[in-house]
A and B are shown apart, each in its own frame.
Chain A
Amino acid sequence: MKKIIKFLSSLKLTAILVILLVSILLIGGFLTRWDDIYYGFKAMNHLVTLDWFLNYESHNTAILIWFIILCIVAVLFGINLVLCSFDNLFRLALKKRNFRTIALFVVHIVFIIILSMHALALVIGYKQGEIVLSENDTYKLKDGYELRLEEIKFIDNKSLLKGDKKSHRLEMTLDSFHYKENYAELALYQDNEEIAGGKAYIFSPVFGNGFQITLDKFILDKNTKKPAVILTVAKNPLTWVFFAFYALGIMSMLVLLVLRWKYK
């Protein structure tokens, strides 16, 4: 048992797992060259990952295999990180009792928390993306929620919303696209009772009752030739805690850097 723990907490395993994770991530990026895989990954963003995983019919086999391998290696990496932190770094901090070893231990603990939150975010919360709505449309979400788009205000030239993805992006300069003035007025209902609502702008979502309704982008409704919007409704209780620990992680790394700067 001791031998297994020694191996699982070793730096050798860390290096191997980091190399494996890097390879898996880069392979994932490479696979997006194929359209069906590109759109497969895109579809993963529309739901909480667990919901996507349980929705067997729509899976791309390559993505599924890639995802399972990623999860296995990430779990091993997590185990290695926890064991290494407590088996090596904690002992070192206790033995040496200086700021540098304590800071090194703290950095690792904060990263364990960040990684745990990442893992939790895959399975908890609520998410429904790629909701396309035109003015006065209603979208029925699961669990009795209903999203209603009351008004769209789009003051710019509608031709901006035509064209392919690249030209679309290139034409959207600050002079041609007034993102602080264009909005979608929305309301989220639960059992016919409004629980969140307001004007959603690009970069400025609507918040209410733990929900975030995000205006992803404006598009052109092909039938009516009027502007429509793509929205995401999400609820994740960990989001802002995650950001707080993320910031703490950066600061703890900075402290570690200051403590180790001088060469002795």
Chain B
Amino acid sequence: MSEEISIFLFCCTLFLLTVNVLLAVLKKRKINLIFGCVTVLSALVAVVNIYLQSGHLPMSGTFEKMQNMVLIIVLLGLIYEFLNRKRDIHASEFWIIALIFQALAFFDELKIDPMFYMYDNVFVSMFFQLRLISMAVLVFSVSMYLTSFKLEAGSYEKSFMMHHAANFTLLGAILFIAGEFSGSMWAQLAYGDSWRWSKNFFTSGAMFLLALLGSHLAPSWIKNKNFQILFSIIPLLIIIILFLT
């Protein structure tokens, strides 16, 4: 029964996101803003359901990860859309990306991990949660870059959107490193050292460096804004791929 509830909630969010994408494509901004609240609610109920069923917040299973990430992406998107509702920016990309992430869960089993003993530890829990949130923020940042890509060259809106996309990249990096801090505490207490020579630590190090790469590309080399966007998106895409694989 509990598994059926999870699948039902998953399908609800999937359906609502599909409607959001359609409304965004049709540029029905106001209706989408209201309808988006229902999607956020559905995604929130799905995450709460994971907690109620397993006793832990979404952690490492694909199904859990996607549910949590979708919630954060649509929540950020909705807030951002609401705050900038008077600007001439039609940000539809985050709806499309959220739909893709929701659909990605199909490629794995639609199941929730049991309460492993490790999840009871606050540092383990924080590590997984902060990592998930940081990835969602970075995905949102990609969607903002994609939105700015289509805006008119030299326009105020384009620079405005790019600036905020860079801010969200930095926010993602901060959340990611906060997760790593928690992971280091976990490693210190569980293995006697704050880090280890292992594949997971190499990947984490690479992900953090990639998150900072975009902000360290000298603006003087790349004059064209669209190329700047492209060079900011590539490291983020690599991070997301590393996280998902």
Q: How far is the CA of A205 from the CA of B119 in the complex (A)?
A: 18
Across the interface, which residues of B come within 8 angstroms of A170, CB to CB?
Answer: 116
Say yes or no: A253-B170 contact (C-beta < 8 A), given A25-B203, A29-B202, A41-B198. yes
Chain A contact residues (Cβ within 8 angstroms of B): what range? 35 or more
- Asked if A138 is at the interface (CB within 8 A of a chain B CB), the reply is no
Cβ contacts B189-218/A at 8 Å (1 or 0 each):
111111011110011011001101100111
Additional A-B contacts beyond A169-B116, A214-B192, A243-B181 (19; CB < 8 A): A15-B213, A15-B218, A21-B206, A41-B199, A42-B198, A172-B116, A173-B115, A174-B55, A175-B115, A216-B190, A234-B193, A239-B188, A243-B184, A243-B185, A246-B184, A253-B174, A254-B174, A256-B170, A263-B163
B192 contacts A250, C-beta separation under 8 Å: no
- Asked if A257 is at the interface (CB within 8 A of a chain B CB), the reply is yes
A203 contacts B216, C-beta separation under 8 Å: no
The number of inter-chain residue pairs (CB within 8 angstroms) is: 137
A15 contacts B217, C-beta separation under 8 Å: yes
Q: How far is the CA of A22 from the CA of B170 in the complex (A)?
A: 18
A179 contacts B171, C-beta separation under 8 Å: no
- Asked if B3 is at the interface (CB within 8 A of a chain A CB), the reply is no
Across the interface, which residues of B come within 8 angstroms of A261, CB to CB?
Answer: 167
Q: Please give me the residue from chain B that is nearest to A252 by CB atom.
A: B174
Q: Please give me the residue from chain B that is nearest to A32 by CB atom.
A: B199
Q: How far is the CA of A236 from the CA of B192 in the complex (A)?
A: 10
Q: How far is the CA of A58 from the CA of B182 in the complex (A)?
A: 33
Q: How far is the CA of A35 from the CA of B169 in the complex (A)?
A: 36
Using a CB–CB cutoff of 8 Å, the interface residues on chain B facing chain A are 55, 114-121, 159-160, 163-164, 167, 170-171, 173-174, 177-178, 181, 184-186, 188-194, 196-199, 202-203, 205-206, 209-210, 212-213, 216-218, 221, 242
Say yes or no: A25-B114 contact (C-beta < 8 A), given A250-B177, A253-B173. no
B192 contacts A44, C-beta separation under 8 Å: no
Contact residues, A19-42 vs B (CB, 8 A): 19, 21-22, 25-26, 28-29, 32, 41-42
A45 contacts B116, C-beta separation under 8 Å: no
Say yes or no: A216-B191 contact (C-beta < 8 A), given A22-B209, A246-B184, A249-B177. yes
Q: How far is the CA of A43 from the CA of B72 in the complex (A)?
A: 39
A14 contacts B216, C-beta separation under 8 Å: yes
B203 contacts A29, C-beta separation under 8 Å: yes
Q: How far is the CA of A264 from the CA of B117 in the complex (A)?
A: 49
A202 contacts B190, C-beta separation under 8 Å: yes
Across the interface, which residues of A come within 8 angstroms of B120, CB to CB?
Answer: 174, 179
Cβ contacts A199-217/B at 8 Å (1 or 0 each):
0001111000000111010
- Asked if A260 is at the interface (CB within 8 A of a chain B CB), the reply is yes
B189 contacts A214, C-beta separation under 8 Å: yes
Say yes or no: A18-B213 contact (C-beta < 8 A), given A204-B189, A249-B177, A250-B177. yes
User: Looking at A19, A29, A214, A236, which has the most chain B CB atoms within 10 Å of its CB?
Assistant: A29
- Asked if A95 is at the interface (CB within 8 A of a chain B CB), the reply is no
Q: Which 5 A-B pairs have the closest CB atoms?
A: A232-B192, A214-B192, A25-B206, A11-B218, A44-B197
Partner among A174, A250, A253 whose Cβ is within 8 Å of the Cβ of B117: A174
A133 → B minimal CB distance (Å) = 15
- Asked if A148 is at the interface (CB within 8 A of a chain B CB), the reply is no
A171 → B minimal CB distance (Å) = 9
